[in-house]
Structure 1
Amino acid sequence: MHKQSSFLAMIIIGVLFFIFGFVTWLNGSLIPYLKVICDLNEFEALFVTFAFYIAYTVMALPMAVILEKTGYKKGMALGLFVMSLGSLLFIPAALSGEFLVFLAALFTLGTGLTILQTASNPYIVLLGPIESAAMRISIMGLINKSAGVLAPLLFTALILSDIGSSSQLVSTNTQELAYKLIKPYIIMSIMLLVLTLFVWFSSLPELEFEDDPYDDENIFGFPRVVLGALALFFYVGIEVIAGDTIGLYGQSLGIANATALTAYTMSFMVAGYLVGVFFIPKFLSQEKALVSSALLGIFFLFGVAFSSTTESHIITGLPDSVAFVAMLGLANALVWPTIWPLALQDLGKHTAKGSALLIMAIAGGAVLPLVFGKVAQITADMQMSYLVGIVCYVMILFYGLKWHKMTGWRA
């Protein structure tokens, strides 16, 4: 691919990765907001996350079939258009105040993101040499996480500016709160529609695959893809555990700023992405980066379980055990960027279905944190419960050492 075309493609895909982060991390702000509007308990409010992420599992393979017919460029435009429609669904949801309509809107947003993720992840992998794909995905990860920082700030500025603080939501008229969602989501819908047209009419080059000897092969005949999806399932699970439970853990230890602790995990992830940008592939191969990430994760988990919950010997200023939870972000950062190119290598025309299978693995983020929570509840020891994450890193380690090399199930 021509250098100028590659640069343009990187910019466009970068914008899409920003959208992934913005829409995904916006859910964290929506959960307490909809809890008040729809009078939900904590369990019911978590269906916000369920409705959003279940779309990845339910819609990934159907979207891959569509992607094979439309091509990657038009598929990305289609994903943006579906997201625009999902944003508009927040209007009848806000007017009715019905939680099920909100969930339908979130599922539609998730469906659009499924198409975008299924198209853009392999696109960035195949945009240049496969050996440097993890570096390119790391750049996208930096963009994605910056959107994750911006999303709650914008939501607060637009929604809560005249309320005072989130603690005052319960004393505000619920209908008034619901109506406040209309304007921001109309703006989002318009922006997504503009991006749809931009991508559709852009000079973004289409991915072309040479004929390969696997034309009649079922996607499940490629063990490095199937096992890659399995590894990603466990990776997304431990990533969500590291980012979403650190606040609960800090709260259980009486840390005053527990609600802000996720920022520490994200900061370590950014540091990990920077390693990927500057060291892969010149100083660090994708395989070694993946193996190192798994081993580092296991080391940090032992640090969580067996270090002090009161003393701080690490520069974060947090109790050592909590600091080790945050440092899981460093171990996690390069797992997604390295598994994708290893899993999709030499798939040819099967890339869309392979990508869809990997996207479906995002379901790990919904399932494994619940397992962690149940273990913590049964044992009444959240600190030791983090050791369940060792299973996640062992699966990632297996993939880095052997599974990604398998060309057949008997290999």
Structure 2
Amino acid sequence: MKQIEAVDAGSLNKRDTLISILIIGSLFFLFGFLSWINAILIPYFKIAFELSNFDSYLVALAFYISYFFMSVPSSYLLKKMGFKKGMMLGFIAMAIGAYMFVPAAMSRTYGIFLFGLFLIGIGLAILQTAANPYITILEPRERAAQRISIMGICNKGAGILAPLLFAAVILRPTDDEMIRQLSSMTDMQRDAALNELIRRVIIPYSVVGTVLLGWGLLVRYSPLPEIDTERESPEVASANLGKKTIFQFPHLILGALAIFLHVGTQVIAVDTIIPYAGSMGVSLLEAKVFPSYTLFITICGYLTGIVLIPKYISQANALRVCTVLGMVFSLLIIFARGPVSLLGHSVDISIWFVVLLGLPNSLVWAGIWPLAMNGLGRFTKLGASILIMMLCGNALMPLLYGYFADMYNVRSAYWVLFPCYLYLIYYAFHGYRVSSWSLMPGQKSDYASTVKNS
């Protein structure tokens, strides 16, 4: 097999760096479009298949659990094939997953839909494992959170469009009336109505599959350079001397748990807000805009990060502010009550704190990633794959929310956010400094001196 030639990130000129950022930005747009469309797929499938809250969140489980299984193999695949060939393989997997929606819709089989979502997640796991370390190691490292914020704008911008476009293509003005009449229909009438509803996904997902194949070819033959993610500086090489496994980097493992909890809180804020609005008597056609509100607020947070980091506030301090703010908003979702009319919606005020979670969530990933990846050297790709693996938090946390929503109610289920933010606060203030599992609380870590932006 031909040896893949990789270059050091620091050797790229401004033109190559800009091209790399633009190409990776297009990937993050794609990540956002395919990921955040779940916010409308969940209530859509819940109606079409007459599901419980728990069963409807199997959408998130099927989509994101693939990250758990594929992220580490992705790191070895990318090392063997290189970034561009590996990413093309990821696009092919996603295209197959999108095409699976056709037989799933024709037979109205929930399991086939879930398998298609799993394949899309497999492809995204490969792309995420390539894209996140790629954008992180582009110099200068102290501006990593700023670049990740730019990628986040691409991601969440697509997320704003995805549920709105899906709803525009799939939903009809008469659907609310049809949904209300389902309970009074005969079995044959209900099956006919739900079959017609679910088959509306055939054309859009056939188009998505074709676009994914084309996008994969474009990336494969693009000028995106192969970057050496495993080159170590003399300082890092010296610090890592004698380290044999990735588990000898506690700040990474603790950061992986932080990523798991963070993405879980983020997807809960987006994917549960339509059913939460529904509990207030808001129709699906009206509620479809709420995920876009949350993602718009997230983009505002990214823009704030781009302006402030690192000139006015460090990555670590931004992370601290966001984690504390997230805990405050999660408590307000539980305890704030009262009707309010805003942006044409008459709802309980608590739903706007779900929307506002987009603000602190915006910079948590950007804060954790460079801190967790710092100083890994030759372990960079494996470390990145472990962090990407923790995107399975997107799969498990909504399921946990759905379990408590069925057991108690959709509002009380938001208590699952509180312990998540509590741990994120720990990592933001202390966890990222830990360099040895034997460190006792309060003991100073030598690793802290290597984190320039703490």
TM-score after normalising by structure 1: 0.87
The farther-off stretch of 301-310 and 57-66 is 301-310
Which of 299, 306, 313 pairs up with 1:277? 306
Q: CA deviation at 1:307?
A: 3.6
Paired position in structure 2 for 1:51? 62
CA distance in structure 2 between the partners assigned to 1:261 and 1:205 by the alignment: 39
1:196 maps to which residue? 216
Matched, 1:243 2:264: no
Matched, 1:349 2:349: no
Residue 381 (structure 1) shift: 9.0
Larger mean CA deviation between 352-361 and 180-189 belongs to 180-189
Task: Judge which range, 371-380 or 82-91, deviates more.
Answer: 371-380
Partner of 1:326: 355
Superposition pairs for residues 295-314 of structure 1, below 5 Å? 295-310=324-339
Deviation at 1:254?
A: 5.7
The equivalent residue for 1:29 is 40
Aligned to 1:206: 226
Question: Superposition pairs for residues 109-188 of structure 1, below 5 Å?
Answer: 109-160=120-171, 164-165=174-175, 168=178, 173=193, 175-177=195-197, 179-188=199-208
Quickly say closer, same or farther: Cα 1:168–1:254, change in 2 above 3 A: closer
SS in 2 for 1:104: helix
User: Within 2, Cα distance between the matches of 1:253 and 1:33?
Assistant: 18
What is the match of residue 233 of structure 1?
260
- The 3-state SS of whatever aligns with 2:37 is helix
Distance in 2 (CA, whole Å) between partners of 1:281 and 1:80 is: 34
Which amino acid in structure 2 is aligned with residue 237 of structure 1? G
Amino acid at match of 1:228: G
Q: 1:330 to 1:107 in 2, by over 3 A?
A: same
Q: 1: CA distance between counterparts of 2:391 and 2:60?
A: 12
Is the CA contact (8 Å cut-off) linking 2:156 and 2:296 kept in structure 1?
A: no
Q: How does 1:322-401 map to 2 (within 5 A)?
A: 322-372=351-401, 382=411, 386-401=414-429
Aligned counterpart, 1:219: 246
The partner residue of 1:404 within 427, 432, 452 is 432
Q: Report the Cα offset of residue 272 of structure 1.
A: 0.8
Question: What SS does the aligned partner of 1:400 have?
Answer: helix
Deviations 1:9-49 (A, max 9, x none): 11111111111111112233334444565565554443222
SS at 2:357 equivalent: helix
Matches of 1:231 and 1:78, distance apart in 2: 29
Give the total of aligned pairs: 409
What is the distance in 2 between the residues matched to 1:351 and 1:266? Answer: 30
- Alpha-carbon RMSD across the aligned residues, in angstroms, is 3.2
Quote the Cα distance in structure 1 between the aligned partners of 2:205 and 2:292. 26
Question: Is 2:90 aligned against 1:79?
Answer: yes
Aligned-residue offset at 1:380: 6.0
Q: CA shift at 1:228, angstroms?
A: 0.6
Runs of at least 5 residues in structure 2 that lack an aligned partner in the other structure: 1-11, 183-189, 439-444, 446-454
Amino acid in the other structure paired with 2:123: G
Residue in 2 aligned with 1:19?
Answer: 30
Change (3 A) 1:259 1:95: closer
How far apart in 2 are the matches of 1:303 and 1:321? 7
SS in structure 2 at match of 1:334: helix
Cα offset, 1:113, TM superposition: 0.4
Residues 1:25 and 1:298: Cα distance change in structure 2 (over 3 Å): closer
CA distance in 1, matches of 2:164, 2:299: 19
How many Å separate the matches in 2 of 1:66 and 1:288?
35
SS in 2 for 1:333: helix
Between the aligned residues of both structures, percent identity stands at 42
Does structure 1 retain, via aligned residues, the 8 Å contact 2:255–2:432? yes
Distance 1:96 1:321, change over 3 A: closer
Structure 1 residues 9 and 406: CA distance shift in structure 2, 3 A: same
1:218 Cα deviation from its structure 2 partner: 1.3
Partner of 1:9: 20
Instruction: Name structure 1 gaps, 5 residues minimum.
Output: none
Deviations 1:290-337 (A, max 9, x none): 0111122223334344444346899x9865444333222211110011
TM-score (norm: length of structure 2):
0.80
What is the identity, as a one-letter code, of the residue corresponding to 2:36? W
* Mapping for residues 251-262 of structure 1, pairs under 5 Å: 251-252=278-279, 260-262=289-291
Q: CA deviation at 1:186?
A: 2.5
Q: C-alpha separation between the residues in 1 aligned to 2:278 and 2:46?
A: 21
Matched, 1:88 2:115: no
